[in-house]
């Protein structure tokens, strides 16, 4: 009889591997306790304390990346249950950047909207922990725990405006569809466990090669289930129908969080699972990803054309952007070499980082303008240039970057993705992505047209942007324009990463 051993996990080993996550968890619980003792006016400090926790966690992630450059062995927890590689680290940095911007945006938002500051802040931190766990897990159970931590906190945050009907409606739809997502993902993972006898991804790889021929259909079924479950989180077509109602009803900073952070975390899981478990047979299933990417790009952009509500328009824009982010994964079916893999990962992470910047910047402007005008219609931006040239120019740059205009980081991000598709000889996929981007010009330019349209009655008052929003928007502007002019600053960093440890 084979004897099994249980590896005990102590705090030192936990800290060595999960220090950023530990800081975020402790920060969340500390804020929870502080919230019990502070008066309402004193609770304004809570988002700032949340940002402090995010900055400390980000510093620890960067320290892990520096250590990995000279390390000979990868840091792991309990037989590769949880690992520290640059793949997880770079996604964690993107997630933490999105959370920091969300909290910064929330400082002004919470002054205007009646929302429990304490619950709002520590739920954001706990959701971020879930996203970080998703990025570094190498076990299906741990992946699922991270996914659920992110999801449950997100459901509550969407419906946290208790007296606002659209918030409740959006939260209920998100909860129901999210439950379906959980069931599909877990069902797909159960097939993997049933066939391989393990939930550890690194251990299951060996069984996949031996069993693929015999259980071909069941493995493909598990893949479809996992892609469908995570596709709901990513707002991929045809799993996107919850997105516009949820984005419209959620508090605007939470809409930005869902659009950027939640999407980044789901991509981290999807890419790692596909690369580790199913990459040996990519030629047999990559067309599934190709079809979903095409449908997502085209339908997302076409649906956005008719939207009058700015948050619903951004929701469909987010759907289309998810399609663009799938293209680097889709083209791997025709280019399976290590060089092509690393190139696809660099393309994905570059555009994802840019997407977070322009999404957070755009929602910061949307959050302020819609509160000042009392309307979420695109027409609320009419005459914005007269009221605030800074906000008008910033929003224009964000829209141009999303559309893919030259001299913006959004253009270069799309360009390298299209170039990668052409290099893999997926010419028609590159052509469809280009055509979908052209469609997006119409509704992005509709926002810009409203911004620079003069207000005939001249009664609109000037807008004075709060300092926290000015800082956020300024950082996003510098990032988008800077990476548009000198993209090699980030690309060089990505090319030198130890994606899967010291040997990769």
Q: Can you spell out the DSSP letters for 393-453?
A: HHHHHHHHHHHT-TTSHHHHHHHHHHHHHHHTT-HHHHHHHHHHHHHHHHHHHHHHHHHTS
Distance CA 342, CA 56 (A): 29
- Total residues belonging to the chain: 504
Give the whole-angstrom CA distance, residue 162 versus residue 166: 10
Across the chain, mean pLDDT equals 84
pLDDT digit string, tens, across residues 369-380:
888 888 888 888
Half-sphere exposure of 432 (CA within 13 A, CB side): 20
Which pLDDT score is estimated for 205? 79
Q: Return the CA Rg of the chain.
A: 22
Confidence bin at 347 (pLDDT 50/70/90): confident
Name the token pair of 228: 């469908």
d(CA 192, CA 140): 9
pLDDT for the residue 114: 79
How many degrees, rounded to 5, is the angle at CA 183 between CA 91 and CA 234? 35
Residue with tokens 């996604």, as numbered in its chain: 91
- Check residues 65 and 482 and name the one with the higher pLDDT: 482
Q: Is 308 left (phi over 0), alpha (psi -120 to 50) or beta?
A: alpha
Element (H, E) at 82: strand 82-84
Can you give the pTM of this predicted structure? 0.90
Quick one: CA dihedral 115, 354, 28, 183, positive or negative? positive
| pLDDT score, position 67 | 79
Per-residue pLDDT band for 6 (boundaries 50, 70, 90) equals very low
Q: Where are the domains of the chain?
A: 297-504
C-alpha separations of 399 from 260, 360, 441, 448, 490 in Å: 16, 12, 9, 8, 22
- In tens, the pLDDT along 228-275 reads 888 888 889 888 888 888 898 888 899 999 998 988 998 888 888 888
Per-residue confidence (pLDDT) for residue 5, from 0 to 100:
42
Whether the ω angle into residue 238 lies within 30 degrees of 0, i.e. cis, is yes
Q: pLDDT digits over 165-188, tens only?
A: 788 888 888 889 888 888 998 988
């Amino acid at each position: 009889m084979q004897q099994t051993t249980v590896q005990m996990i102590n705090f030192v080993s936990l800290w060595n591997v999960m220090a950023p996550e530990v800081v975020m968890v402790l920060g969340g619980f500390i804020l929870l306790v502080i919230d019990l003792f502070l008066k309402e006016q004193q609770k304004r400090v809570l988002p700032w304390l949340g940002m402090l926790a995010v900055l400390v966690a980000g510093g620890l992630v960067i320290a892990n990346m520096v250590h990995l450059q000279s390390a000979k062995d990868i840091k792991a927890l309990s037989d590769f249950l949880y690992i520290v590689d640059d793949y997880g680290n770079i996604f964690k940095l993107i997630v933490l950047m999105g959370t920091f911007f969300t909290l910064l945006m929330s400082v002004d938002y919470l002054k205007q909207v009646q929302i429990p500051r304490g619950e709002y802040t520590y739920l954001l931190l706990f959701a971020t922990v879930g996203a970080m766990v998703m990025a570094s897990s190498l076990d299906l159970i741990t992946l699922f725990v991270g996914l659920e931590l992110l999801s449950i906190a997100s459901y509550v945050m969407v419906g946290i405006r208790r007296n606002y009907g659209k918030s409740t409606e959006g939260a209920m739809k998100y909860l129901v569809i999210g439950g379906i997502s959980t069931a599909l993902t877990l069902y797909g993972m159960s097939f993997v466990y049933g066939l391989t006898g393990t939930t550890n991804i690194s251990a299951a790889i060996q069984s996949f090669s031996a069993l693929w021929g015999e259980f071909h259909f069941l493995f493909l079924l598990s893949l479809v289930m996992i892609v469908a479950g995570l596709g709901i989180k990513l707002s991929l077509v045809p799993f996107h129908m919850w997105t516009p109602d949820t984005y419209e009803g959620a508090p605007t900073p939470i809409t930005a969080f869902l659009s950027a952070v939640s999407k980044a975390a789901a991509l981290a899981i999807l890419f790692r699972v596909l690369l580790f478990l199913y990459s040996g047979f990519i030629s047999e299933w990559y067309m599934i990803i190709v079809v979903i990417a095409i449908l997502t790009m085209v339908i997302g952009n076409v649906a956005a054309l008719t939207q009058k509500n700015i948050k619903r328009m951004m929701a469909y824009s987010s759907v289309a952007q998810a399609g663009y982010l799938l293209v680097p994964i889709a083209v791997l079916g025709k280019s399976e070499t290590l060089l092509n893999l690393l190139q696809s990962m660099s393309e994905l992470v570059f555009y994802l980082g840019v997407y977070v910047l322009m999404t957070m910047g755009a929602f910061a402007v949307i959050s302020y303008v819609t509160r000042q005008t009392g309307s979420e219609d695109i027409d609320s931006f009419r005459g914005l240039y007269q009221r605030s040239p800074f906000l008008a120019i910033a929003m224009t740059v964000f829209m141009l970057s999303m559309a893919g205009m030259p001299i913006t980081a959004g253009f270069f991000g799309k360009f390298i993705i299209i170039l990668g598709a052409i290099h893999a000889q997926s010419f028609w996929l590159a052509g469809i992505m280009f055509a979908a981007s052209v469609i997006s010009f119409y509704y992005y330019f509709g926002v810009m047209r409203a911004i620079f349209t003069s207000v005939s009655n001249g009664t609109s008052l000037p807008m004075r942007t709060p300092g926290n929003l000015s800082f956020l928007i300024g950082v996003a502007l510098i990032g988008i324009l800077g990476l548009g002019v000198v993209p090699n600053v980030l690309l060089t960093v990505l090319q030198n990463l130890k994606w899967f440890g010291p040997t990769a």
